[in-house]
Amino acid sequence: MDSGLKGRGGAGFSTGLKWSFVPKDIKPCYLCCNADESEPGTFSNRYVLEKNPHLLIEGILICCYAMGIETAYIYIRGEFTLGKKMLDAAIKEAYEKGYLGKDIRGTGLNVDIYSHPGAGAYICGEETGLIESLEGKRGQPRNKPPFPAVAGVFGKPTVVQNVETLCNLPFIVGNGVEWYTQMGPTPNTGTKLYCISGDVNEPGVYELELGLTCSELIEVAGGLRGEEVKAVIPGGSSAPILTHYELDTRLDFTALTLAKSMLGSGGIIVMNETRNIVDCLLNIMKFYAHESCGQCTPCRWGTPWVRDIVQRIADGNGQKKSVANNIANVDTMTWNTICVFGIAVSWPAVSYMRKFRPEFEAALREGKLVTLPVAEATVPPEENYAYQQRFVPKEFADL
Protein backbone atom coordinates (compact mmCIF):
# COMPACT_ATOMS: atom_id res chain seq x y z
CA MET A 1 0.00 0.00 0.00
CA ASP A 2 2.94 2.32 0.65
CA SER A 3 3.88 2.19 -3.03
CA GLY A 4 0.63 3.90 -4.00
CA LEU A 5 0.07 1.37 -6.79
CA LYS A 6 -3.36 1.83 -8.34
CA GLY A 7 -5.20 -0.60 -10.58
CA ARG A 8 -4.22 -0.04 -14.20
CA GLY A 9 -7.28 -1.73 -15.69
CA GLY A 10 -9.72 1.17 -15.49
CA ALA A 11 -10.94 2.21 -12.07
CA GLY A 12 -7.58 3.29 -10.63
CA PHE A 13 -8.47 1.81 -7.23
CA SER A 14 -5.71 1.30 -4.65
CA THR A 15 -4.27 -2.19 -5.09
CA GLY A 16 -3.19 -2.52 -1.46
CA LEU A 17 -6.60 -1.42 -0.23
CA LYS A 18 -8.31 -3.97 -2.48
CA TRP A 19 -6.12 -6.74 -1.09
CA SER A 20 -6.94 -5.68 2.47
CA PHE A 21 -10.62 -6.49 1.88
CA VAL A 22 -9.89 -10.21 1.43
CA PRO A 23 -10.86 -12.19 4.60
CA LYS A 24 -7.88 -13.88 6.20
CA ASP A 25 -9.87 -16.72 7.75
CA ILE A 26 -11.54 -18.12 4.61
CA LYS A 27 -9.67 -20.56 2.40
CA PRO A 28 -9.04 -21.19 -0.39
CA CYS A 29 -8.54 -17.78 -1.97
CA TYR A 30 -8.09 -17.25 -5.69
CA LEU A 31 -6.40 -14.78 -8.01
CA CYS A 32 -8.01 -13.83 -11.30
CA CYS A 33 -5.79 -11.97 -13.73
CA ASN A 34 -7.97 -9.93 -16.07
CA ALA A 35 -6.40 -10.18 -19.54
CA ASP A 36 -9.74 -9.72 -21.33
CA GLU A 37 -8.59 -6.46 -22.89
CA SER A 38 -11.70 -5.32 -24.75
CA GLU A 39 -11.79 -1.53 -24.36
CA PRO A 40 -11.44 0.10 -27.81
CA GLY A 41 -8.13 1.91 -28.14
CA THR A 42 -6.37 -0.32 -25.58
CA PHE A 43 -3.69 -2.89 -26.42
CA SER A 44 -1.07 -2.81 -23.62
CA ASN A 45 -2.07 -6.17 -22.13
CA ARG A 46 -1.75 -7.79 -25.51
CA TYR A 47 1.74 -6.36 -25.86
CA VAL A 48 2.83 -7.81 -22.48
CA LEU A 49 1.33 -11.23 -23.21
CA GLU A 50 3.08 -11.45 -26.56
CA LYS A 51 6.43 -9.90 -25.60
CA ASN A 52 7.05 -10.60 -21.90
CA PRO A 53 4.63 -13.14 -20.36
CA HIS A 54 7.20 -14.18 -17.72
CA LEU A 55 6.90 -10.71 -16.16
CA LEU A 56 3.19 -11.36 -15.63
CA ILE A 57 3.91 -14.79 -14.11
CA GLU A 58 6.38 -13.18 -11.69
CA GLY A 59 3.77 -10.60 -10.69
CA ILE A 60 1.21 -13.36 -10.11
CA LEU A 61 3.68 -15.26 -7.90
CA ILE A 62 4.31 -12.15 -5.78
CA CYS A 63 0.58 -11.56 -5.33
CA CYS A 64 -0.04 -15.22 -4.46
CA TYR A 65 2.80 -15.19 -1.91
CA ALA A 66 1.50 -12.01 -0.28
CA MET A 67 -2.11 -13.21 -0.12
CA GLY A 68 -1.60 -16.90 0.61
CA ILE A 69 -3.15 -17.91 -2.72
CA GLU A 70 -2.37 -21.25 -4.35
CA THR A 71 -4.47 -21.06 -7.54
CA ALA A 72 -4.45 -18.29 -10.14
CA TYR A 73 -6.48 -17.98 -13.33
CA ILE A 74 -5.56 -15.78 -16.29
CA TYR A 75 -8.72 -14.92 -18.21
CA ILE A 76 -7.44 -13.97 -21.65
CA ARG A 77 -9.35 -12.45 -24.54
CA GLY A 78 -10.20 -15.16 -27.05
CA GLU A 79 -8.88 -13.15 -30.02
CA PHE A 80 -5.41 -12.97 -28.46
CA THR A 81 -4.33 -16.22 -30.10
CA LEU A 82 -0.65 -15.31 -30.25
CA GLY A 83 -0.75 -13.89 -26.72
CA LYS A 84 -2.28 -17.10 -25.35
CA LYS A 85 0.27 -19.21 -27.23
CA MET A 86 3.15 -17.20 -25.76
CA LEU A 87 1.59 -17.20 -22.29
CA ASP A 88 1.00 -20.95 -22.27
CA ALA A 89 4.58 -21.53 -23.38
CA ALA A 90 5.84 -19.29 -20.57
CA ILE A 91 3.69 -21.10 -17.99
CA LYS A 92 5.05 -24.44 -19.21
CA GLU A 93 8.63 -23.15 -18.93
CA ALA A 94 7.96 -21.88 -15.40
CA TYR A 95 6.68 -25.31 -14.35
CA GLU A 96 9.70 -27.00 -15.92
CA LYS A 97 12.13 -24.70 -14.10
CA GLY A 98 10.35 -25.23 -10.78
CA TYR A 99 8.85 -21.75 -10.44
CA LEU A 100 5.28 -23.08 -10.45
CA GLY A 101 3.66 -26.08 -8.85
CA LYS A 102 4.16 -27.67 -5.43
CA ASP A 103 6.85 -26.55 -2.99
CA ILE A 104 8.34 -24.02 -5.39
CA ARG A 105 12.14 -24.34 -5.23
CA GLY A 106 11.95 -25.62 -1.67
CA THR A 107 10.13 -22.60 -0.26
CA GLY A 108 6.94 -24.40 0.70
CA LEU A 109 4.96 -22.12 -1.64
CA ASN A 110 2.39 -23.84 -3.86
CA VAL A 111 1.05 -21.96 -6.89
CA ASP A 112 -0.73 -23.25 -9.97
CA ILE A 113 -1.62 -20.99 -12.91
CA TYR A 114 -4.29 -21.76 -15.51
CA SER A 115 -5.02 -19.72 -18.65
CA HIS A 116 -8.66 -19.53 -19.70
CA PRO A 117 -9.71 -17.99 -23.05
CA GLY A 118 -12.86 -15.93 -23.31
CA ALA A 119 -15.07 -15.55 -26.36
CA GLY A 120 -14.66 -11.86 -27.16
CA ALA A 121 -17.42 -10.39 -24.98
CA TYR A 122 -16.74 -6.81 -23.86
CA ILE A 123 -18.73 -7.30 -20.67
CA CYS A 124 -16.39 -10.09 -19.50
CA GLY A 125 -13.81 -7.39 -18.83
CA GLU A 126 -16.01 -6.45 -15.85
CA GLU A 127 -14.71 -8.46 -12.90
CA THR A 128 -17.91 -10.28 -11.95
CA GLY A 129 -18.82 -10.95 -15.58
CA LEU A 130 -15.34 -12.43 -15.93
CA ILE A 131 -15.89 -14.64 -12.90
CA GLU A 132 -19.25 -15.87 -14.19
CA SER A 133 -17.66 -16.78 -17.52
CA LEU A 134 -14.71 -18.45 -15.80
CA GLU A 135 -17.15 -20.65 -13.88
CA GLY A 136 -18.74 -21.76 -17.14
CA LYS A 137 -21.82 -19.57 -16.93
CA ARG A 138 -23.11 -16.85 -19.21
CA GLY A 139 -20.82 -13.83 -18.96
CA GLN A 140 -23.11 -11.39 -17.14
CA PRO A 141 -22.16 -9.16 -14.19
CA ARG A 142 -23.31 -10.02 -10.68
CA ASN A 143 -25.05 -7.77 -8.20
CA LYS A 144 -22.65 -6.31 -5.66
CA PRO A 145 -22.26 -6.70 -2.73
CA PRO A 146 -20.90 -9.25 -2.09
CA PHE A 147 -17.75 -8.11 -3.87
CA PRO A 148 -15.27 -10.61 -5.34
CA ALA A 149 -12.85 -9.99 -2.45
CA VAL A 150 -15.41 -11.72 -0.22
CA ALA A 151 -17.26 -14.04 -2.61
CA GLY A 152 -15.70 -14.41 -6.03
CA VAL A 153 -14.67 -17.52 -7.96
CA PHE A 154 -16.62 -20.56 -6.72
CA GLY A 155 -17.97 -18.40 -3.89
CA LYS A 156 -14.52 -17.93 -2.35
CA PRO A 157 -12.51 -14.74 -1.72
CA THR A 158 -10.91 -13.62 -4.97
CA VAL A 159 -8.40 -10.95 -5.96
CA VAL A 160 -9.08 -9.64 -9.47
CA GLN A 161 -6.24 -7.63 -11.01
CA ASN A 162 -5.36 -6.36 -14.45
CA VAL A 163 -2.27 -7.61 -16.31
CA GLU A 164 -0.46 -4.29 -16.09
CA THR A 165 -1.13 -3.93 -12.36
CA LEU A 166 0.45 -7.30 -11.62
CA CYS A 167 3.41 -6.47 -13.87
CA ASN A 168 4.26 -3.54 -11.58
CA LEU A 169 4.84 -5.82 -8.58
CA PRO A 170 8.25 -7.28 -9.59
CA PHE A 171 9.67 -3.78 -10.00
CA ILE A 172 8.27 -2.57 -6.67
CA VAL A 173 9.64 -5.62 -4.84
CA GLY A 174 12.96 -5.58 -6.71
CA ASN A 175 13.72 -1.85 -6.46
CA GLY A 176 11.84 -0.78 -3.36
CA VAL A 177 8.94 1.51 -2.55
CA GLU A 178 11.09 4.65 -2.41
CA TRP A 179 12.34 4.07 -5.95
CA TYR A 180 8.80 3.49 -7.22
CA THR A 181 7.23 6.51 -5.53
CA GLN A 182 9.81 8.86 -7.06
CA MET A 183 8.09 8.37 -10.41
CA GLY A 184 4.89 10.26 -11.16
CA PRO A 185 3.15 13.07 -9.27
CA THR A 186 1.82 12.13 -5.82
CA PRO A 187 -0.53 10.29 -5.35
CA ASN A 188 -0.16 8.92 -8.89
CA THR A 189 3.04 6.93 -8.54
CA GLY A 190 4.85 4.73 -11.01
CA THR A 191 4.66 4.37 -14.75
CA LYS A 192 1.80 3.68 -17.14
CA LEU A 193 1.60 1.78 -20.38
CA TYR A 194 -0.01 4.41 -22.59
CA CYS A 195 -1.62 3.04 -25.76
CA ILE A 196 -1.81 5.85 -28.28
CA SER A 197 -3.55 5.52 -31.64
CA GLY A 198 -5.48 7.61 -34.12
CA ASP A 199 -4.00 10.62 -35.85
CA VAL A 200 -0.39 10.37 -34.66
CA ASN A 201 2.68 9.47 -36.69
CA GLU A 202 3.96 6.67 -34.45
CA PRO A 203 1.05 4.89 -32.70
CA GLY A 204 1.97 2.21 -30.20
CA VAL A 205 2.54 1.35 -26.53
CA TYR A 206 4.76 3.72 -24.53
CA GLU A 207 5.79 3.16 -20.92
CA LEU A 208 6.15 6.57 -19.30
CA GLU A 209 5.84 8.10 -15.87
CA LEU A 210 2.32 9.06 -14.90
CA GLY A 211 1.60 12.74 -15.21
CA LEU A 212 2.72 13.85 -18.66
CA THR A 213 0.23 15.95 -20.61
CA CYS A 214 -1.76 15.07 -23.72
CA SER A 215 0.44 17.37 -25.79
CA GLU A 216 3.61 15.74 -24.49
CA LEU A 217 2.36 12.23 -25.23
CA ILE A 218 1.43 13.23 -28.78
CA GLU A 219 4.98 14.50 -29.29
CA VAL A 220 6.41 11.24 -27.89
CA ALA A 221 4.27 9.40 -30.45
CA GLY A 222 5.88 11.24 -33.34
CA GLY A 223 3.60 14.27 -33.36
CA LEU A 224 0.18 14.86 -34.84
CA ARG A 225 -0.70 13.53 -38.27
CA GLY A 226 -2.59 16.57 -39.47
CA GLU A 227 -2.78 20.28 -38.82
CA GLU A 228 -4.60 20.59 -35.50
CA VAL A 229 -5.84 18.41 -32.64
CA LYS A 230 -9.61 18.36 -32.51
CA ALA A 231 -10.18 15.93 -29.65
CA VAL A 232 -8.47 13.32 -27.50
CA ILE A 233 -10.03 10.27 -25.83
CA PRO A 234 -7.82 9.82 -22.74
CA GLY A 235 -8.76 6.42 -21.34
CA GLY A 236 -10.45 4.14 -23.84
CA SER A 237 -13.77 4.72 -25.59
CA SER A 238 -15.77 4.88 -22.34
CA ALA A 239 -13.86 7.97 -21.13
CA PRO A 240 -15.39 11.44 -21.60
CA ILE A 241 -13.65 13.22 -24.44
CA LEU A 242 -11.17 16.10 -24.14
CA THR A 243 -11.06 19.06 -26.54
CA HIS A 244 -8.13 21.05 -27.92
CA TYR A 245 -8.64 23.42 -24.99
CA GLU A 246 -7.65 20.60 -22.61
CA LEU A 247 -4.40 19.34 -24.14
CA ASP A 248 -2.40 20.47 -21.11
CA THR A 249 -4.35 18.08 -18.87
CA ARG A 250 -2.04 15.61 -17.11
CA LEU A 251 -2.66 11.99 -18.01
CA ASP A 252 -2.99 10.60 -14.50
CA PHE A 253 -5.86 9.43 -12.32
CA THR A 254 -6.26 12.63 -10.31
CA ALA A 255 -5.90 15.26 -13.04
CA LEU A 256 -8.29 13.51 -15.41
CA THR A 257 -10.88 13.06 -12.66
CA LEU A 258 -10.71 16.81 -12.01
CA ALA A 259 -11.15 17.34 -15.77
CA LYS A 260 -14.38 15.29 -15.61
CA SER A 261 -12.82 12.40 -17.50
CA MET A 262 -10.72 9.38 -16.52
CA LEU A 263 -7.45 7.62 -17.31
CA GLY A 264 -9.28 4.29 -17.48
CA SER A 265 -7.32 1.70 -19.41
CA GLY A 266 -4.87 4.26 -20.81
CA GLY A 267 -6.17 3.98 -24.37
CA ILE A 268 -5.38 7.39 -25.89
CA ILE A 269 -7.12 8.09 -29.21
CA VAL A 270 -6.15 11.31 -31.00
CA MET A 271 -8.44 12.96 -33.56
CA ASN A 272 -7.32 15.69 -35.95
CA GLU A 273 -9.29 18.45 -37.67
CA THR A 274 -10.66 16.10 -40.37
CA ARG A 275 -12.69 14.01 -37.91
CA ASN A 276 -16.42 14.52 -37.56
CA ILE A 277 -17.42 14.12 -33.92
CA VAL A 278 -20.97 13.00 -34.75
CA ASP A 279 -19.56 10.18 -36.85
CA CYS A 280 -17.05 9.28 -34.12
CA LEU A 281 -19.82 9.06 -31.51
CA LEU A 282 -21.91 6.93 -33.87
CA ASN A 283 -19.03 4.49 -34.25
CA ILE A 284 -18.69 4.13 -30.47
CA MET A 285 -22.43 3.81 -29.89
CA LYS A 286 -22.65 1.03 -32.48
CA PHE A 287 -19.98 -0.83 -30.54
CA TYR A 288 -21.78 -0.47 -27.21
CA ALA A 289 -25.17 -1.41 -28.66
CA HIS A 290 -23.58 -4.61 -29.95
CA GLU A 291 -21.73 -5.41 -26.71
CA SER A 292 -24.51 -4.91 -24.14
CA CYS A 293 -25.14 -8.23 -22.39
CA GLY A 294 -28.85 -7.42 -22.21
CA GLN A 295 -29.24 -8.29 -18.53
CA CYS A 296 -30.49 -4.84 -17.45
CA THR A 297 -33.39 -3.10 -19.17
CA PRO A 298 -31.73 0.36 -19.32
CA CYS A 299 -28.79 -1.10 -21.26
CA ARG A 300 -30.78 -3.59 -23.29
CA TRP A 301 -33.06 -0.90 -24.69
CA GLY A 302 -31.07 2.26 -24.00
CA THR A 303 -27.96 1.51 -26.02
CA PRO A 304 -29.87 0.83 -29.27
CA TRP A 305 -31.95 3.99 -28.70
CA VAL A 306 -28.86 6.13 -28.27
CA ARG A 307 -27.24 4.55 -31.31
CA ASP A 308 -30.36 5.03 -33.45
CA ILE A 309 -30.75 8.71 -32.51
CA VAL A 310 -27.11 9.45 -33.36
CA GLN A 311 -27.59 7.48 -36.59
CA ARG A 312 -30.57 9.65 -37.53
CA ILE A 313 -28.56 12.80 -36.84
CA ALA A 314 -25.73 11.50 -39.05
CA ASP A 315 -28.18 10.51 -41.82
CA GLY A 316 -29.81 13.92 -41.85
CA ASN A 317 -33.08 12.74 -40.32
CA GLY A 318 -32.58 14.13 -36.84
CA GLN A 319 -34.99 16.42 -35.05
CA LYS A 320 -34.21 19.54 -33.03
CA LYS A 321 -34.90 17.63 -29.83
CA SER A 322 -32.57 14.73 -30.77
CA VAL A 323 -29.71 15.83 -28.53
CA ALA A 324 -32.02 16.44 -25.57
CA ASN A 325 -33.67 13.04 -26.12
CA ASN A 326 -30.30 11.32 -26.14
CA ILE A 327 -29.25 13.06 -22.94
CA ALA A 328 -32.48 11.82 -21.31
CA ASN A 329 -31.86 8.27 -22.56
CA VAL A 330 -28.31 8.04 -21.25
CA ASP A 331 -29.38 9.64 -17.97
CA THR A 332 -31.75 6.72 -17.43
CA MET A 333 -28.84 4.32 -17.96
CA THR A 334 -26.50 6.05 -15.51
CA TRP A 335 -26.22 4.35 -12.11
CA ASN A 336 -29.31 2.26 -12.91
CA THR A 337 -27.60 -0.92 -14.08
CA ILE A 338 -25.91 -3.82 -12.29
CA CYS A 339 -22.47 -2.93 -13.64
CA VAL A 340 -20.92 0.28 -14.97
CA PHE A 341 -21.74 -0.46 -18.60
CA GLY A 342 -24.50 2.15 -18.53
CA ILE A 343 -21.97 4.72 -17.36
CA ALA A 344 -19.51 3.62 -20.04
CA VAL A 345 -22.16 4.51 -22.63
CA SER A 346 -23.45 7.71 -21.04
CA TRP A 347 -20.20 9.47 -20.22
CA PRO A 348 -18.81 9.62 -23.76
CA ALA A 349 -22.24 10.31 -25.25
CA VAL A 350 -22.87 13.33 -23.01
CA SER A 351 -19.33 14.70 -23.30
CA TYR A 352 -19.36 14.51 -27.11
CA MET A 353 -22.73 16.24 -27.35
CA ARG A 354 -21.82 18.81 -24.71
CA LYS A 355 -18.34 19.76 -25.88
CA PHE A 356 -19.01 19.56 -29.62
CA ARG A 357 -22.57 20.86 -29.69
CA PRO A 358 -22.02 23.03 -32.83
CA GLU A 359 -21.16 19.99 -34.94
CA PHE A 360 -24.33 18.19 -33.84
CA GLU A 361 -26.39 21.33 -34.46
CA ALA A 362 -24.83 21.72 -37.91
CA ALA A 363 -25.83 18.16 -38.82
CA LEU A 364 -29.39 18.82 -37.63
CA ARG A 365 -29.53 22.12 -39.50
CA GLU A 366 -27.97 20.96 -42.80
CA GLY A 367 -29.46 17.46 -42.88
CA LYS A 368 -26.04 15.83 -43.28
CA LEU A 369 -22.70 15.45 -41.53
CA VAL A 370 -20.82 18.75 -41.46
CA THR A 371 -17.20 18.75 -40.31
CA LEU A 372 -16.54 22.15 -38.79
CA PRO A 373 -13.14 23.73 -38.17
CA VAL A 374 -11.78 22.92 -34.72
CA ALA A 375 -12.51 26.30 -33.16
CA GLU A 376 -16.06 26.41 -34.56
CA ALA A 377 -16.88 22.82 -33.60
CA THR A 378 -15.86 23.13 -29.97
CA VAL A 379 -17.78 24.77 -27.14
CA PRO A 380 -15.36 26.95 -25.12
CA PRO A 381 -14.85 25.74 -21.54
CA GLU A 382 -16.59 28.76 -20.04
CA GLU A 383 -19.74 27.95 -22.02
CA ASN A 384 -19.88 24.26 -21.11
CA TYR A 385 -21.62 24.89 -17.82
CA ALA A 386 -24.42 26.86 -19.48
CA TYR A 387 -24.83 24.05 -21.99
CA GLN A 388 -25.10 21.50 -19.18
CA GLN A 389 -27.82 23.51 -17.50
CA ARG A 390 -29.73 23.65 -20.75
CA PHE A 391 -29.64 19.98 -21.72
CA VAL A 392 -28.55 17.87 -18.76
CA PRO A 393 -30.82 16.85 -15.86
CA LYS A 394 -29.75 18.31 -12.52
CA GLU A 395 -28.49 15.04 -11.10
CA PHE A 396 -26.29 14.60 -14.17
CA ALA A 397 -24.98 18.17 -14.36
CA ASP A 398 -21.70 17.47 -12.57
CA LEU A 399 -20.44 14.99 -15.18
How far apart are the C-alpha atoms of 27 and 44, rounded to whole Å?
33
What whole-number distance in Å separates Cα of residue 79 and Cα of residue 37?
10
DSSP string, 267-335: EEEEEETT--HHHHHHHHHHHHHHH--S-SHHHHHHHHHHHHHHHHHHHT---TTHHHHHHHHHHHHTT
CB-based burial label for 136 (10 Å; 0-12, 13-18, 19+): exposed
Alpha carbon distance 14, 8 (integer Å): 10
Looking at residue 331, its pLDDT comes to 76
Q: Could you tell me the residue ranges of all domains in the chain?
A: 15-179, 191-272, 277-396
The arrangement of strands across the sheet holding 30-35 comes to: 112-117, 71-76, 30-35, 158-162
Q: Do domains 15-179 and 277-396 have the same CATH topology?
A: no
Alpha-helix residue ranges (DSSP H) falling in the chain: 15-20, 44-51, 53-67, 81-96, 127-134, 163-175, 177-181, 214-220, 253-258, 277-291, 297-315, 322-333, 341-355, 357-366, 374-377, 381-391
Q: pLDDT tens digits, the chain, 399 residues: what are they?
A: 688 899 898 878 899 999 999 998 999 999 999 999 999 999 999 999 999 999 999 999 999 999 999 999 999 999 999 999 999 999 999 999 999 999 999 999 999 999 999 988 999 999 999 999 999 999 999 999 999 999 999 999 999 999 999 999 999 999 999 999 999 988 899 999 999 999 999 999 999 999 899 999 999 999 999 999 999 999 999 999 999 999 999 999 999 999 989 999 899 999 999 999 999 999 999 999 999 999 999 899 989 999 999 999 999 888 877 787 777 778 778 878 899 898 888 889 989 998 999 999 999 999 999 999 999 999 988 776 554 444 444 443 443
Query: CATH second-level architecture of 191-272?
Result: Roll (3.10)
Tell me, what's the pLDDT at 390? Answer: 45
Q: In this predicted structure, what is the pLDDT of residue 48? A: 96
Q: What pLDDT score does 1 carry?
A: 67
Contact between 271 and 280 (Cβ < 8 Å): yes
* CA quadruple 162, 163, 168, 174: dihedral sign: positive
Nearest residue to 10 via CA among 267, 358, 362, 329: 267
Radius of gyration from C-alpha coordinates of the chain: 22
Is this model's pTM higher than 0.85 or not? yes
Specify the CATH class of 15-179 in words: alpha beta
Whether the link from the prior residue into 28 is cis, omega within 30° of 0, is yes
CATH code, 277-396: 1.20.1440.230
Q: Say if CB 100 and CB 113 are below 8 A apart.
A: yes
Q: What whole-number distance in Å separates Cα of residue 380 and Cα of residue 387?
A: 10
Dist. CA 134–CA 124, nearest whole Å = 9
